[in-house]
Amino acid sequence: MVDRTDRHFRSLMRLITRHTLLYSEMVVARAILRGDHQRLLAFDPNERPLALQLAGDEPGALAEAARIAADYGYDEINLNVGCPSPRVQRGRFGACLMAEPQTVADCVAAMRAAVTLPVTVKHRIGIEGREQFADLAEFVEIVALAGCDRFVVHARIAVLGGLNPKQNRSVPPLRYDDVYALKRHFGDALFEINGGIATLDQAAVHLKRVDGVMIGRAAYDDPMLFAAADARFFGGAAGDGVDRIAVVEAMVPYVERWVAAGGQGYQVLRHMQGLFNGMPGARRWRRMLSVDGPRSEEPGRLLRAAIAERR
């Protein structure tokens, strides 16, 4: 999620769930071609399995960006056809590409030819003016023929004129049935459902109808939501769930390494604020991280002190 998640949040998530597929925030393919690969693409190998999400509408640029990403060790390339932001629309990519299934298909085919990794597409169930199931099915059919390995479907249309990105994640109603209908219609293709899913129980219900579930905001707000995911969905033992203190303890050497390498401690700590949500003392934890975190020169020590206080 742009402006929210990054490699540090993914490292935190990886301590909570070993097997859930993680996605990068959207990275514009042309930005990768302009250089600064390290800033845009570097990640900790522990984050894998990890999909890189690209944005763009030029098959050649996307193919080249996918090739560079494959060398970095990503496990999957995902194309963003769901973002409604005006900036992205000016670039003619994101959700507005739902009106151009053949362009998306050409992009998928070019990336498929460039890398051996799975190439997937994240999209909406429609955009204003193309919001019937027949439009959606046409989009999926054309993109599937180009070799798309999985469809990640945000079960809302995007309104590209009147709503801002935040409203576009809440105002258009969720239509899960459209995603289920896709699965029935294209039985051989893989579909991952997204939008408004906030518990593993809800995920389990969707998994009876589709192949995967993507959770965005709820994962950020309450990362420990995923503590039981490995046991529940990936064949782990019931006792495999991690506890919060163990997660914080594991983040101590992580943040210390990051600071030793020249990074800012708060770049890591800021993602840990939701870790105790729903627990006694959650507010105090958040305050400690948000007030003391930004000015702390020894973030590892801050975390240790916070743990000691909770014991």
Ligand X SMILES: Cc1cc2nc3c(=O)[nH]c(=O)nc-3n(C[C@H](O)[C@H](O)[C@H](O)COP(=O)(O)O)c2cc1C
Known catalytic residues?
83
* Residue 301, CA distances (Å) to 253, 255, 262 in order: 10, 10, 17
* Residue 152, CA distances (Å) to 17, 119, 261, 293 in order: 20, 11, 36, 35
301 is a site residue for ligand X (CB under 6 A): no
Interface with ligand X in residues 28-67 (CB under 6 A): 53
Whole-number minimum distance, CB 280 to ligand X, in Å? Answer: 27
Stretch that binds ligand X, among 113-121, 209-217, 249-257, 294-302 (CB under 6 A): 209-217
> Is there a contact between 276 and 244 (Cβ–Cβ < 8 Å)?
yes
Closer CB to ligand X, 11 or 80, in the complex: 80
CA distance 143 to 93: 15
- Which positions from 122 to 141 touch ligand X by CB under 6 A, shown as an x/- string? x-------------------
Stretch that binds ligand X, among 102-110, 211-219, 221-229, 263-271 (CB under 6 A): 211-219
Closer CB to ligand X, 49 or 281, in the complex: 49
Strand partners, 150: 120
Burial of 297 (0-12, 13-18, 19+ CB in 10 A): exposed
> Is there a contact between 76 and 65 (Cβ–Cβ < 8 Å)?
no
Closer CB to ligand X, 54 or 302, in the complex: 54
CA distance 222 to 219: 5
Whole-number minimum distance, CB 174 to ligand X, in Å? Answer: 9
Closer CB to ligand X, 37 or 169, in the complex: 169
- Size of the chain in residues: 311
Interface with ligand X in residues 67-106 (CB under 6 A): 80, 82-83
Q: How many chain residues bind ligand X (CB under 6 A)? A: 21
Whole-number minimum distance, CB 109 to ligand X, in Å? Answer: 21
Question: What burial letters (b/e) apply to 239-256, b meaning 16+ CB within 10 Å?
Answer: ebbbebeebbeebbebbb
Per CB under 6 A, residues contacting ligand X are 1-4, 25-26, 53, 80, 82-83, 122, 154, 169, 194-197, 215-218
